[in-house]
Amino acid sequence: MGLGTSDDAAVYRVSGDKAAILTMDFFPPVVDDPYTFGSIAAANALSDVYAMGGRPVAAMNIVCFPTCLSVDVMRDILRGGADKVMEAGAVLAGGHSIEDDEPKYGLSVMGLVHPDRILTNAAARPGDVLILTKPLGTGILNTAIKADMVDDAGYTKAVETMAYLNADACEAALETGVAGCTDITGFGFLGHACEMADGSGVTLEIWPAQLPVIEESIELAKMGIIPAGAYNNQAFVEGRVRFEEGIKQEVIDIMFDPQTSGGLLISVTEDRADALMKLLKDKCKTPFGMIGRVKKRGKFSIEVKDNTPRYT
C-alpha cells in the first residue's frame, strides 16, 4: 500500500496468492491491571491486520519496562498479550525489551492475506453504506479511569470493548464481500473516516444518532473529561468536516475521541449491507451500527447530519 492513502499497515506481496501484512503498535498502560493492559495492547496491535482483511500469523513482543517495578507486573502484561495472540490464532515468536522510565507494551504483527482480497481505506464507493463495529468513547473513559471517576459498569464496558479482537467483525466483512475498511484508533472516528473519504475520493455522510457509543462516556464528555488527543484530532481535520447545526457538543467530542483498539469502519455496497448487519448480529460481541453512507465527492470529506435525538 502506498503512503498516499494513509492505510493501516504495510503489505508485501510474497507470491501470486499471498501477501504479508506488517504492522506494529505499542503504548503506555491505559488501565492499572497489567494482564488487562497486555490484552488491550495486543488486541490493538493485531487490529491493523484485521482492518486489511488479513489473518494474523505471527507476533513479537515490544516491551519497555522500568527496573523499579516488580517483574511480576511485566509477566502479567506479557501473559495478557500472549493469551490475546493465541486467541487470534497467531504464534508469539519472542520479542525485545528495553529499560525505560514508563512501562510500554505492544506487538509487531505479521498477517497474511490474498493480494486480491486486501481491504483498504481507499475503496469506499458512492452508494455504499457505512458500518462501525465497536462503540466509541474509550479515550474519554480511559482519561476518567485514570482519575478514578468511572464506576465498575463503565470500566468493564470500556475494557471489554478495547480487549475485544476485531477478528469477528473482519470475518463478517470478508464473508459478506466488502472492499473498504479501516480501524478506528488514535485519530478518532472522524479522523479515520476523513482518511477513508480522502483516500477513496468520496464524501462520507455520518448519522450521529446511529453511532454505537459507550453510554458512560457521554456524561464524562459533558463534564469536560476529554483527552488532549481529541482536540488535536479536531484540529487535524479542520475544514474537512461539516457539522449540521444542532449537533450536541458532547457528540462532536466523542466523534473526535482517540480510540484505543477501536472497531472497524466498513464500507459495504447497499445490497449487501443487510447481510453484513445480520452476520455481525451473529458474530460481533460489541454494539455496532449502520452509521452513514458514502456519497459522490463534494466539498467536504465528511458531512455530519443532525439526527441526534438518541443522546440527551
Partner 1 sequence: MTLKNVDARGRACPEPVLLTKRAIDQSPERVQVFVDNTTAMENVKRFAVNLGYKVEITKDGQDFVLKISR
- # binding residues, partner 1 (CB under 8 A): 17
Contact range with partner 1 by CB under 8 A, out of 30-38, 143-151, 265-273, 279-287: 143-151
Reduced to 3 states (helix: H, G, I; strand: E, B; else coil), residue 58 is strand
Can you tell me which of 22, 60, 73, 149 binds partner 1, judged by CB under 8 A?
Answer: 149
Residue of 184, 196, 185, 290 whose CA lies nearest to 240: 196
The x, y and z cell numbers of residue 296, run together, are 459522490
The angle that helices 228-236 and 138-146 make with each other, rounded to 10 degrees, is 150
Least CB distance to partner 1 at residue 191 (A):
16
Least CB distance to partner 1 at residue 234 (A):
9
Cβ proximity to partner 1: between 227 and 263 the closer is: 227
Contact assessment for residue 176 and residue 270, using Cβ atoms and an 8 Å cutoff: no
The x, y and z cell numbers of residue 274, run together, are 443487510
48 binds partner 1 (CB under 8 A): no
**CA distances to 8, 11, 56, 169 from 52, in Å:** 7, 9, 11, 12
Cβ proximity to partner 1: between 146 and 295 the closer is: 146
Least CB distance to partner 1 at residue 226 (A):
6
What residues from 213 to 232 belong to the interface with partner 1 (CB under 8 A)? Answer: 221-228, 231
Can you tell me which of 253, 286, 290, 294 binds partner 1, judged by CB under 8 A?
Answer: 253
Adjacent-strand bridge partners of 232: none
Tell me the H-state helices in the chain. Answer: 34-51, 71-87, 138-146, 152-163, 167-176, 188-200, 216-222, 228-236, 249-256, 270-283
Cβ proximity to partner 1: between 111 and 258 the closer is: 258
Cβ proximity to partner 1: between 69 and 223 the closer is: 223
Residues in the site for partner 1, rule: CB under 8 A? 143-144, 146-147, 149, 221-228, 231, 249-250, 253
